[in-house]
Amino acid sequence: MIIETIAFYLFAFITIASAVMVISSKNPVHSVLFLILAFFNSAGLFILMGAEFLAMILIVVYVGAVAVLFLFVVMMLDVNFAELRAGFLQYLPIGGLIGLILLIELIFILSAWVLAPEAETVARAPVPGGDISNTDALGRLIYTDYAYLFQAAGLILLVAMIGAIVLTLRERVGVRKQKIADQIARKREEAVAVRKVGTGEGI
Amino acid sequence: MDGGFWGGYVWPGIIIILQIIAIIVPLIVAVAYLTYAERKVLGAMQLRQGPMVVGPWGLLQPIADGIKMIGKETIIPSGANRVVFMIAPMLTFLLSLVAWAVIPFDYGLVLADINVGILYLFAISSLGVYGIIMAGWASNSKYAFLGAMRSAAQMVSYEVSIGFVIITVLICVGSLNLTDIVMAQEGLWFAIPLFPMFVVFFISALAETNRSPFDLPEGESEITGGFMVEYSSMTYALFFLGEYANMILMSGMTTILFLGGWLPPFDFAPFTWIPGPIWFALKVAVLLFIFIWVRGTMPRFRYDQLMRLGWKIFLPFSLIWVVLTAGAVVAFDWLPN
């Protein structure tokens, strides 16, 4: 047990510390790197809870794909720090308001957890019976009991994806693209011509 | 805990460390001699001899190279972001080693037999891109940055098709455990019924390890070494070791998913005498030879061709195969379990 406890406090401490660094570090690339560290340590926390499938999916999806693209974009941005700080006071009220709302929500969640722990068991989906791994259990819940909700979530993601493509798609004229089908379909007669060239004449 | 402090924590800890050493030391030796094998094979393909000077047939060349690397000076560019610059090669090397924890070399011969083994491998291989991006950004050099950008786009693209290929195999196995995946191939390796997926996986593995013909992140003839242009000495050596260890890892992954891991090709007398780890090593060696063979024969892809292959060919093709395999498994009642 002591190893688990030490591991828990280690992961939890690094998660919180790197989360603090995400919002306090000056360089946006460092922020993203700390965000990745936070993701990674929360995956460690999942493993300690026995949810190894969720831990791996967290790393594959968030660290392996989402954060890579995030880092990609942040690295390409030409961020002007002086300009960023100039608007600080102007945006302080709205930022503070959002922070306050988040804080109140967190307090609600935490107080529900402390005051009425039985509420959680009521809201929780029943775990499929039998001696099955949690990958199996998740599969059964998602694909049998909540198949429509799962499909709906997929549709929402699809709409977001199509939206992003539509926003960035532009037709440009005069672009030379390699058309591999045309290259393959080209016959010898279209590409090569045999000419008789007399000496000293040229074509 | 039974056995108190010593029996409960210290001895298991020592045993685990010894097991880790028993995996890592042969791996490092394999990496060193893979560089030698690459130079020899490329030499033979180009009608040269390859390294011949240090030791008999040049066999001590990798060791000489290693000592030379350690003896050189580590240079950190003045404009570089020092911490990230130093972390990047360590991360690359570390990630190429930690993945070996779940690779089974024989039945039960595995450091950690976790039941999401294949997802763990997929997760670790998807993290490999960070070493390269961090190196490219922290170097503060345009060539390194170009290499990192290319690498990020390339590795994210090919991971998608690797994911679909893994799903196809998992449909046939019914488990995410690597030992189960190998045991499901008794009698018939997945390379035969899923041959197109085997090819897609191998080509994606080339892209994932940044090997030729997908070596755009390095692209020494275009961007002079890409993300590692500013690295020297041990920091460079760590990238180099990481790349080769990743090659062996991807070959090991291909072996487990498609070539039946440690299983002999035929289940009768002369083949079953040879122990499992040797079969595993032989299969990995054949795949590594193909890695080098491809490097010796293929020209580098152009960037748009690379993206076209990843997104317009491999992605739809592997997606169709996922649906097809699932359909066949259900229709003919071949469902595992």
Task: For chain A, list the domains and their CATH numbers.
Answer: 1-79 (1.20.120.1200)
Which pair of tokens denotes residue B134? 């961090």
* pLDDT for position B251: 92
Is A29 part of the contact surface with chain B (CB cutoff 8 Å)? Answer: yes
Distance CA B102, CA B23 (A): 11
Residue B7 contacts by C-beta under 8 Å, 6 or more apart in sequence?
B1
Query: Cβ B114–A71 below 8 Å, yes or no?
Result: no
Residue B316 has a pLDDT of 92
List the structure tokens of A56. Answer: 């791996």
The answer, for A21 touching chain B at a CB cutoff of 8 Å, is no
pLDDT band at A133 (very low <50, low <70, confident <90, very high): confident
* Residue B172 identity (one-letter amino acid): C
Reply yes or no on whether the pLDDT at A100 is more than 70: yes
CA distance B294 to B288: 10
| pLDDT, position A73 | 82
Q: Which residues of A touch B2 (CB under 8 A)?
A: none
Instruction: Return the half-sphere exposure (C-beta side, CA atoms, 13 A cut-off) of residue B336.
Output: 16
Residue B214 tokens read as 């997908």
Q: What is the pLDDT along chain B (337 residues), one digit of tens a residue?
A: 456 777 777 888 888 889 889 888 988 899 989 989 999 999 999 998 888 888 888 888 888 888 888 888 888 888 788 888 888 899 989 988 898 888 888 887 788 888 888 888 888 888 888 888 888 888 888 888 888 888 888 888 888 889 899 999 988 888 888 888 888 888 788 888 888 999 999 999 888 888 878 887 776 777 777 777 788 888 888 888 888 999 999 999 999 988 888 888 877 777 777 788 888 889 999 999 999 999 888 888 888 888 888 888 899 999 999 999 889 888 887 777 6
Contacts A60 to B, Cβ<8 Å: 119, 122-123, 126, 163
Q: What pLDDT is recorded for position B1?
A: 46
pLDDT exceeds cutoff 50 at A101 = yes
Q: B94, B114, B130: best mutation site toward chain A, by most A Cβ within 10 Å?
A: B130
**Rounded distance, CA B150 to CA B29, Å?**
31
The span from the CA of B327 to the CA of B322, in Å, is 8
In B84-109, which positions are buried (b, 16+ CB within 10 angstroms) versus exposed (e)? bbbbbbebbbbbbbebbbbbbbbeeb
Q: What's the pTM value of the predicted model, to 2 decimals?
A: 0.84
Query: Is pLDDT of A75 > 60?
Result: yes
pLDDT at B335: 75
3-state secondary structure of B326: helix
| Residue A158 C-alpha, separation from nearest chain B C-alpha, in angstroms | 16
Highest averaged pLDDT of the listed ranges A34-38, A117-121, A168-172, B74-78: A34-38
Contacts of A135 in chain B (CB under 8 A): 115-116, 176
d(CA B185, CA B262): 10
pLDDT of residue B153: 82
The four Cα atoms A172, A179, B321, B123 give a dihedral, to 10 degrees, of -60
